[in-house]
Structure 1
Amino acid sequence: MTTNQNGNISTDVSDFLLNCFARSPSWQLSISLPLSLLFLLAMGANGILLITIRLEASLHEPMYYLLSILSLLDIVLCLTVIPKVLAIFWFDLKSIGFYACFLQMFIMNCFHAMESCTFMVMAYDRYVAICHPLRYPSIITDQFVVKAAIFILARNVISTVPIPILSSRLHYCGRNVIENCICANMSVCSLSCDDVTINGPYQFAGGWTLLGTDLILIFLSYSLILQAVLRLKAEGAMAKALSTCGSHFILILFFSTILLVFVLTHVVKKKVSPDVPVLLNVLHHVIPAALNPIVYGVRTQEIKQGIGRLLDRAWY
């Protein structure tokens, strides 16, 4: 027990309790089944995609390596959030350790930023493929993918690691019930008896700087791609070019749309149940992860053929 700078008595908190849907407890049962099915779909589809890209020599190309990075990020995000949420729903296991909570906070913030950055690199890959096709093999190489992976990791770890550090250094005055299904930064910080004015603005500014920069560069890439496509004269060239970008563009829509809805519900939070943003925050960790590999698997002929050959070998 210590006294903080405001003179309040602070009791050391060893764990937190995640109080999911405190105002709508009936939601837990109704969404537990679809959430578990989405989790299994996300894990299975991303696992199959990773195995297919690993075993099929024809898929050992930079574009598919980038897709592998996206699948790995989705798997980690799902494993970080969904099993704990299901344990709360099914077994009422609300407790999460003090440091485990801040580790979850770090992974969620960092890996979402890494996913956004991966979409940006994938947009650049499509830009080079369509706008500079003759130079594509010399620009988008295996070395490019390695450098891009290092950049994705370094930029987002350095940018997001202060969020859990700032939160973990606060004094928690005995209150340990988080009104959320996950260890979201501000949900945890609201339990502190210290001044938290720096925590919210840092996450807001840092998050929107990272995501905003990525979205601007993605928009710029697709604007240049659209200009190049409109200049194509060969029959069927426009459809082929748009098809190569279609899967990637759909994935970006999945990622950004649910994020936008989540932000809008916070803006109008007085008009919606406080549990709605909590639900959207959980779904944001599983819906894109479940749909990303399916979209690429359905729309990319090479991946469909690779999965087919993989299933044939497994069957026989």
Structure 2
Amino acid sequence: MGAFNLTPSDPSTFILNGIPGLEDAHIWISIPFSMFYIIGLLGNFTILFVVGKESTLHKPMFLLLSMLALTDIGLSTCVMPKALCIFWFCFKGITVDGCLTQMFFLHAVAGMHSAVLVIMAFDRYVAICEPLRYGTILNNARIAKLGLVGLTRAVFVVLPEPLLLRRLPFCANQVIPHTYCEHMAVVKMSCGDTRVNRTYGLMTALVIIGIDLTLIGLSYRLIIRAVLRINSKKAHWKALNTCTAHISVMLLSYTPYLFSALTHRFGQGIAAHVHILLANLYLLVPPMLNPIIYGVKTKELRDKVGKYTCRM
């Protein structure tokens, strides 16, 4: 067991402490966490499988769903295997390089996830405001290019975070009160000047989330304006109903993310275990619910999933 109980005195190792104050309950907490993770993987891999197999689903909307499924898998997989090792086996040690790598992939995938939500908002705008030109404005090739732009942005905006952290000295007490390496949690472990890191981390959040929420808000402003021009109330609801799945996914994704990010910087009065629990649920609940939301709201996808389910 000596190899498992790594001490914070090792300068090349951080200690991920799990959920502070609830260490005795780690086993019990791991039960819903692992269930959420497995359900999320099954749901998102089902979407990828069905969309890949069915040629009738090779359309922009379902390509976007596949992108969303990939980012959902990435978000939860970046943190849950290590978190479950902490809960089940007390494998709390993680090298500094491993920690920074986990942090990079987590934030890069989160940035890509946000970009996919922006493209989906644009997709809804074109479908409602320019329905006759939908096929010419949005096709699979254009969606793929937009996805590549989102991925490039996420990588280049997030990459400086671990590089800036790598140059800092870390204090003797290298215990991170978290289940994964989140940027601000690692910044707080340094005994050097972290002003550049804190400023860049805040700028990253503003660039990615601020710009993306602005673009999404603009898309829905144009959608609402177009819908209000329709005389029929039935047509109003039919048009808006096509956006409910996207709106639900956005609320599930952005609300806990903003809460977690703001708590790290300004939420000193919030109990640590509450913050860490919500930070983990943010990476588990949306990936679990997103396939269900789109499966329920998208008849074409629901029918194809039912087709494969009945074969089993």
Pairwise TM-score range, normalised by the shorter structure: over 0.9
Deviations 1:188-226 (A, max 9, x none): 222223211111110111112210110011011111111
1:227 equivalent in structure 2: 225
Q: How many residues align?
A: 304
1:28 equivalent in alignment to 2:40: no
Tell me if structure 2 keeps the 8 A contact 1:12–1:172.
no
Point out where structure 1 has 5 or more consecutive residues left out of the alignment: 1-10
**What corresponds to 1:308 in structure 2?**
306
Matches within 5 A, 1:156-175: 156-175=154-173
Does structure 1 residue 73 correspond to structure 2 residue 71? yes
1:98 to 96, 99, 109: 96
Distance in structure 2 (CA, Å) of the matches to 1:271 and 1:16? 25
- Which of the residues 123, 126, 130 maps onto 1:128? 126
Report the Cα distance in structure 2 between the residues aligned to 1:238 and 1:264, rounded to whole angstroms: 36
Please name the residue that 1:210 is paired with.
208
Distance 1:186 1:32 in 2: 24
Q: C-alpha separation between the residues in 1 aligned to 2:148 and 2:257?
A: 25
Name the residue aligned to 1:3.
none
Per-residue CA deviation, residues 98-137 of structure 1 (Å, 9 max, x unaligned), is: 2111111001111111111110011001100100001110
Cross-structure match for 1:64: 62
SS of match in other structure, 1:17? strand
- TM-score, scaled relative to structure 1: 0.91
The answer to whether the 8 Å contact 1:21/1:27 transfers is no
Q: The residue matched to 1:239 in structure 2 has which SS? A: helix
Distance 2:14 2:183 in 1: 13
Deviation at 1:268, TM superposition (A): 6.0
1:189 lines up with 2:187 in the alignment: yes
| Letter matched to residue 145 of structure 1 | I
* Residue number among 251, 273, 297 corresponding to 1:299 in the alignment: 297
Query: Would the aligned equivalents of 2:16 and 2:180 in 1 still touch at CA under 8 Å?
Result: yes
The answer for the alignment partner of 2:3 in structure 1 is none
Equivalent residue letter for 1:88: I
Aligned residues with identical type, % of pairs: 38
Structure 2 runs not aligned, ≥5 long: 1-8
What is the root-mean-square deviation of aligned Cα atoms in Å? 1.7
User: 1:45 touches 1:293 (CA, 8 Å); kept in 2?
Assistant: yes
Q: Which moves more between the two structures, 177-186 or 259-268?
A: 259-268
Once the two structures are superposed, residues 1-25 of structure 1 have per-residue CA deviations (whole angstroms, 9 ceiling, x without a partner) of xxxxxxxxxx872221101123332
List per-residue Cα deviations over 1:223-259 (Å, max 9, x = no partner). Answer: 1111111222357322221121111111001011212
Write the letter of the residue equivalent to 1:224: L
- CA change 1:174–1:235 in 2 (3 A) is closer
Residue in structure 1 matching 2:108, options 101, 105, 110 = 110
Report the counterpart of residue 13 of structure 2 in structure 1: 15
> Does the residue aligned with 2:236 lie in a helix, a strand or coil?
helix
Q: Secondary structure at the match of 1:175?
A: coil
Question: Is the 8 Å Cα contact of residues 62 and 140 (structure 1) preserved in structure 2?
Answer: yes
Q: Identify the residue that residue 280 of structure 1 maps to in structure 2.
A: 278
**CA–CA distance in 2 between the matches of 1:261 and 1:190?**
18
For 1:50-61, list aligned pairs within 5 A: 50-61=48-59
